[in-house]
Chains A and B, each alone.
Chain A
Amino acid sequence: MPAQLIAGNSAVIIGAMYAGCDCFFGYPITPASEILHEASKYFPMVGRKFVQAESEEAAINMVYGAASTGHRVLTASSGPGMSLKQEGITYIAGAELPCVIVDINRAGPGLGNIGPEQSDYNQVVKGGGNGCYNNLVLAPNSVQEMCDLTMKAFDLAFKYRNPVVILADGVLGHMVEALKFPDEAYTPSIDTTWAVCGNHETRPNLVTSIELDFSKMEKHNFKLQDKYQKIRENEVQFETYMIGDAEIVLVSFGISSRIAKSVVDAARKEGLKVGLFRPITLFPFPSKELKALADTGCKFISIEMNNGMMREDIRLATGCANVDLVCRYGGRLIELEDIMKKIKEVA
């Protein structure tokens, strides 16, 4: 299949369709609306279902309902909409249902604006809703990955029966790049060992997040924590660039990592030993790998479009108290010069 120029939000729907996603439930919000538009146009053409919900809460709870049947389901939103969805997400996590949620992060807090930001890091990576749960979180940095990681997200969601969030932003959603279409479309079969399908076979299956007995609820929580530990051990994904001899390592995810990569090139031209470490999974966070890097004695600079939310995770992972930070938020991208200035300060 040849490559095609396409926007990030459209690539999400391509990935979802190739991954065998059956239903899309959504509510309009800039800058994620194109995902909804594309789903409304293309899903019905191939017999998949599209429903425009009356609210964000309705959309995520439609996902809850449909995911219970073992089908692949998707929703998409942005900051304020993600806040509204949190109740549904914690129920989905508690009931251990698979689904994919795409967050095209915009600037906040409150209504904020429609510029790009990475400030949903905490509400998506740390939970956001009530209770001790984790989403799996994937952070693409290109249009190709908007498609590929959406496909991967469905696999992970079903492997662990857990919500998976694609954390992107307004730039990734709207920028146009070449997309190589997936080689194969996928028709998943339904796992009837847990799903409720309205038949005799699945009658004993129970989908719920309520357990009134304290001991049983505790046991359910332990089971969830075991699952998150397995995810930490098996699903970490990251990318590195020129870190072999690096004395300063930029740590950056999503669209910021593209900027950081250009900075690495520029710094190397000036003879500065700079590399890039890019987490692709934000939960699980590549803590072990960052710790190993820290042990080589390099310095870290976190590059992110929020007030340093990921920096906290780098500090925890590496045990380094003084991880530097170059950040920008409010809807603007980080400038190459600002990162360069910080590198020279640190070097």
Chain B
Amino acid sequence: MIQEQSLFAPGHRACAGCSMPTVVRLVLDATGPNVIVVSPTGCLEVTSTPFPESAWKVPWLHSLFENAAAVASGVETILKRQCKDTKVLVIGGDGSTFDIGMGSNSGMFERGHDIMYVCYDNEAYMNTGVQRSGSTPFCVHTTTTPSGEQSLGNPKPKKDMPAIAIAHHVPYVATASVAFPVDLRRKVKRAAELRGTSYLQINAPCITGWTFETGSTIEISRLAVETGLYPLFEFVNGKLADVKKIRPRPVTDYLKAQGRYRHLFKAPGGKEAIAAIQAIADENIANYGLAQE
């Protein structure tokens, strides 16, 4: 599946079992070499480019947390001025995408730059020590939403970032998972062929933040999809165009496999919280029509 000569070289410093390098390799395999990548600060930037090393075999720029979309907008504008058809890619984490970068994302979406924005979504600020982000799901334990006697973890559900992109009339918005590489590649190719902004959000499990065995990364991401908690869909011009059908599995299969939900199986109120998480999955299944006939 993964090409032997990848544009993202081995020898980077990502954790063993991290899904992020696989996501990046799959994305670059699909786009090919005619791209310029912008990455905001985060796990990807830190592990792939400790000065003077680099894992990137394509042109790559680094920006601060909040302004990757603005930097990419500048790069895309000058490429247009030069009449070049090089695709500009942002590859950033959910912290920069959902929270601090929201302003510059909104500007990029609204102006309709020819940029593919890829968010590797590991659902918290992993690079700075697992603090919650706007992408952190309901009841997840993080270092700033600690679980304990008074708390069941993150009190808020995950922010619906694809809906925010759709509300900006972004012509192509899709979600994908590292566990479904064929689907992921197809979506990247589609976004790359499009003239205009696209937003791709990719479920990317983190071994340290989610706490699971290093060999289970793909299985965890598959469970996120198959429980209905991470629906895979495509919106073209604001309309739901396609979904990945599933035979829904109970959310407990997914929750019990990860340390970040461990408290729900012990603490008072945990049972009700699990029921609430199941309700989130059920709602996704109904809303997107995920269940296989």
Residue pairs across A and B with CB atoms within 8 Å: the count is 49
Q: Are B64 and A36 in contact (CB under 8 A)?
A: no
Q: Number of contact residues on B: which range applies?
A: 20 to 34
Contacts of A40 in B (CB 8 A): 143-146
A-side contacts of B131, CB under 8 Å: 28, 33, 36-37, 52
A337 at the interface (CB under 8 A from B): no
A111 at the binding interface (Cβ < 8 Å): yes
In the bound assembly, the distance between CA atoms of A111 and B64 in angstroms comes to 7
Residues of A within 8 A of B146 (CB): 40-41
Contact A55 B100, beta carbon cutoff 8 Å: yes
Measured between alpha carbons, how far is A55 from B128 in the docked complex, in Å? 14
Q: Give the shortest distance, in Å, between A265 (CB) and chain B (any CB).
A: 37
Instruction: Verify B66–A36 contact, CB threshold 8 A.
Output: no
A28-B125, A30-B128 known; A55-B99 Cβ under 8 A: yes
Is A29 in contact with B100, judged by CB distance below 8 angstroms? Answer: no
Q: Chain B contacts of A84 at CB under 8 A?
A: 66
A contact residues around B134 at 8 Å (CB): 54
When chains A and B are docked, how far (Å) is the Cα of A30 from the Cα of B131? 11
Given A33-B128, A37-B144, A111 contacting B41 (CB threshold 8 A): yes
- A182 interface hit (Cβ, 8 Å): no
Q: Are A54 and B102 neighbours in the complex by a CB distance under 8 Å? A: yes
Q: Does A27 contact B (CB under 8 A)?
A: yes
Q: Flag if A28 contacts B100 (CB, 8 Å).
A: no
The reply to whether A29 and B99 form a contact with Cβ atoms under 8 Å apart is no
Number of interface residues of A (CB under 8 A): 20
Flag if B64 contacts A37 (CB, 8 Å).
Answer: no
A56 located at the interface, meaning its Cβ lies under 8 Å from any Cβ of chain B in the complex: yes
If A37-B144, A111-B41, A111-B64 touch, whether A28 touches B129 (CB-CB below 8 Å) is yes
List B contacts of A111 (CB < 8 A): 41, 62, 64
Of all chain A residues, the one with the shortest Cβ separation from B100 is A55
Contact (A33, B129) CB under 8 Å given A40-B145, A40-B146, A54-B99:
yes
CB contact under 8 A between A52 and B128, given known A44-B150, A80-B64: no
Q: Which of B114-140 contact A (CB under 8 A)?
A: 125, 127-129, 131-132, 134
* A45 in the interface (beta carbon within 8 A): yes
Q: In the complex the two chains form, is A37's CB within 8 Å of B143's CB?
A: yes
The smallest C-beta distance from A82 to any residue of chain B, in angstroms, reads 13
Query: Closest Cβ of chain A: how far from B18's Cβ, in Å?
Result: 18
Residues of B close to A33: CB separation below 8 A = 128-129, 131, 143
Give the shortest distance, in Å, between A18 (CB) and chain B (any CB). Answer: 21
Closest to B151 in A: A44
**A36: nearest residue on chain B (CB-CB)?**
B144
CA distance A29 to B129 in the complex (A): 9
With a cutoff of 8 Å between Cβ atoms, the chain B residues found around residue A41 in the complex are: 146
CA distance A80 to B131 in the complex (A): 18
A159 to B131, CA, bound (A): 34
Q: Given contact pairs A36-B144, A37-B131, A54-B100, enumerate 17 new A-B contacts (beta carbons under 8 Å).
A: A28-B95, A28-B125, A28-B128, A30-B129, A33-B128, A33-B129, A33-B131, A33-B143, A36-B131, A37-B143, A40-B144, A40-B146, A44-B150, A52-B132, A55-B66, A55-B100, A111-B62
- CB within 8 Å of B: which residues of A? 27-30, 33, 36-37, 40-41, 44-45, 50, 52, 54-56, 80, 84, 110-111
Q: Residues of B at under 8 Å CB distance from A? A: 41, 62, 64-66, 95, 99-100, 102, 125, 127-129, 131-132, 134, 143-146, 150-151
Please give me the 6 A-B residue pairs with the lowest Cβ-Cβ distance, nearest first.
A55-B100, A54-B99, A28-B128, A28-B131, A40-B144, A37-B143
